[in-house]
Structure 1
Amino acid sequence: MPEAIGVSGLRVRRGGRVVVDDVSFTAPFGGVLAVLGPNGAGKSSLLKALAGVVPFEGDIRLSGRRARGLRADERARLAAYVPQQSELRSPLTVASVVAQGRYAHHIGRVRAASADEDAVARALRLTDTAPLASRSFPALSHGERQRVLLARAIATEARILLLDEPTSALDVGHALRLYALLRRLAADGYCVVVVLHPLAEALDWTDAAVLMDRGRIRQQGETRDVIRPGAVESIYDVRLVPGGALGFRLPIDPDALGGGAPS
């Protein structure tokens, strides 16, 4: 698969402190990459650097283009970011929030309204948020907001999706449906980078992983090779217990949920 993200010598400073230090990795289109590590490892700061939310040193390439040379609208059409939570407080409807994902397509050009409507409708359908379309965004639960923010990212039509702990406020059913959606998007050629805490979920749903600690990558590769005794046990100060957690699965074929695979 072609390279979606290329990172070399990345460093991020927050409040005068280095929180991401000399990080290098690549991620292809057509896969889901997990960013793992304990609290304070630098995972969210790494994702924000990829999204252009925080300043960085080093080099980031998105779809082969240097991030430093991109205008904001160009970057938005390449990569879409889903934060842990939204600061949006205006009483916009869910449909209006998702439609914000179309702004980058209107800068310096005319865009057919039908294309925007189709993109918004598709995003609402895929994230199971169409029933919420007329509701006020601030009135939603945190879990519902997370699904709406993902819908906004999908509406951008960016092929790189950056998600920061997207399942942290979701019940088990919606979490499984979200993971199934991310897998379908990857199968359709997206690059999905997702910050996760549950290692079992990373094993079940992601292709590759980077394991961070204190701002650096300690292990990277296929997820099943990263989540092994050794680095995981030393970084988290735990013992891995195979089969030691509850398991869940969707009751039917996940492709039958949410209207099928994206087109």
Structure 2
Amino acid sequence: MTALLAAKDISVRLGGRTVVEDARVTLSAGELVALVGPNGAGKTTFLKALAGLLPAFGTIELEGQPMSALKPHERARRLAYLPQGHSFSWPLPAGEIVALGRYPHADPFSPVSDRDRAAVDHALDITGTRQFADRIVTTLSGGERARVALARVLATEAKIVLADEPIMSLDPRHQFVVMDVLRHAAQAGGAVLAVIHDLALAARYADRILMLEKGRIVADEKPEIALSPEKIATIFGVEADMICLGDAQVPLVRKPL
């Protein structure tokens, strides 16, 4: 089966320094992959390169086609990128922000279609943001804006979602809500690559862990292998124990080494 996204030998140089070097990843339909690593490892840079937002060496294919050969609207229909920070420049109602996710499916003169409305309604519902639809997005809390930003990405209905710290600034309940939404997006036939700092949540939700250290991939394994206490100690410099939660082996970080 053709991978939804296949990237090989990705290298990025910024300011004369190599930030990502010879990194690769394959995302298949049904997969939620967590991208983890210490601060400064190159996670955001790698994600932006995969989204085509930074110049990079290497090859990136979307459903078997070179991403460089796709027109911007074609790329945007296949791949949606959720940046970290969730800042909004325009004081628009949150519902209108979410509706911007439909932009890749229309031209400036196209009327709003029934499918557009259905996609926006679905995104508002599954992210729990319908209650904010009429509120100006700049008046929302950081966590509320984060969910509106995710709803906009989901309204695109792109098969591939690249999410940079999607649970940043969320309270514990909504961290689970967002991870459930991303898990469902993958199970519905999509593929998700998400930067996650919470190693326990990464272990519970991800099919695979992609671990970056100093711009290089040092692990691409199932969570119980990639997030072993030994690997966590080496990469993150902290001591961790493994605990069993249901069927998952989850790391419990104890103290710095």
The answer, yes or no, to whether TM exceeds 0.5 is yes
1:143 and 2:143 correspond: yes
The residue type paired with residue 21 of structure 1 is: E
Superposed displacement of residue 87, structure 1: 3.9
RMSD over aligned Cα atoms: 1.7
Q: Distance in 2 between matches of 1:97 and 1:225?
A: 40
SS in 2 for 1:186: helix
Aligned residue for 1:81, secondary structure, equals strand
Q: 1:109 to 1:65 in 2, by over 3 A?
A: farther
Q: Which residue of structure 2 lines up, in the alignment, with residue 254 of structure 1?
A: none
Q: Which runs of 5+ in 1 are unaligned?
A: 247-263
* SS state at 1:134 partner: coil
SS of corresponding position for 2:202: helix
Distance 2:107 2:21 in 1: 35
Taking every aligned residue pair, what percent have the same amino acid on both sides?
Answer: 39
| Corresponding residue for residue 169 of structure 2 | 169
Counterparts of 1:27-38 in structure 2, within 5 Å, are 27-38=27-38
Please say if residues 219 and 231 of structure 1, whose CA atoms lie closer than 8 Å, have aligned partners that are also in contact: no
Task: Give the structure 2 partner of residue 157 of structure 1.
Answer: 157
Letter in 1 for 2:140: L
Shift of 1:245: 4.2
* Pairwise CA distance, 1:78: 0.5
Instruction: Tell me the SS of whatever aligns to 2:27.
Output: strand
Aligned to 1:217: 217
- Write the deviation string for residues 179-199 of structure 1: whole angstroms up to 9, x where unpaired: 111122211111011001111
The size of the alignment, in residue pairs, is: 246
Q: Measured at CA, do residues 22 and 240 of structure 1 come closer, stay the same or move farther in structure 2, by a change above 3 Å?
A: same
Aligned to 1:81: 81
Question: What is the match of residue 188 of structure 1?
Answer: 188
Q: Partners in 1 of 2:166 and 2:112 — Cα distance?
A: 31
- Which deviates the most, 102-111 or 206-215? 102-111
Greater shift after overlay, 211-220 or 107-116?
107-116
Q: In 1, distance between residues paired with 2:138 and 2:110? A: 31
**4+ long deviations beyond 6 Å:** none
Residue in 2 that maps onto 1:240: 240
Gaps of 5+ in 2: 244-250
Which deviates further from its counterpart, 207-216 or 231-240? 231-240
Cα distance in 1 for residues equivalent to 2:119 and 2:92: 18
Higher strand share: 2
SS at match of 1:53: coil
Distance 1:32 1:140 in 2: 28
CA deviation after TM superposition for structure 1 residue 116, in Å = 1.1
Instruction: Determine the C-alpha separation between the residues in 2 that align with 1:168 and 1:86.
Output: 9
TM-score (norm 1): 0.89
CA shift in 2, pair 1:48/1:146, >3 Å: same
1:64 corresponds in structure 2 to: 64
Distance 1:223 1:2 in 2: 24
Q: 2:11: which partner in 1? A: 11
1:173 and 1:149 map into 2 onto residues whose CA distance is 17
Q: Is the 1:218–1:231 Cα contact (8 Å) retained in structure 2?
A: no
Write out per-residue CA displacement over residues 186-216 of structure 1, whole angstroms, 9 at most, x where no aligned residue: 1111101100111111110110011110000
Q: Separation in 1 of the partners of 2:208 and 2:82?
A: 20
Deviation at 1:240, TM superposition (A): 1.8
- AA paired with 1:228? S
Quote how far apart the aligned CAs of 1:166 are. Answer: 0.7
2:96 aligned partner, one-letter code: S
Deviation at 1:111, TM superposition (A): 6.1
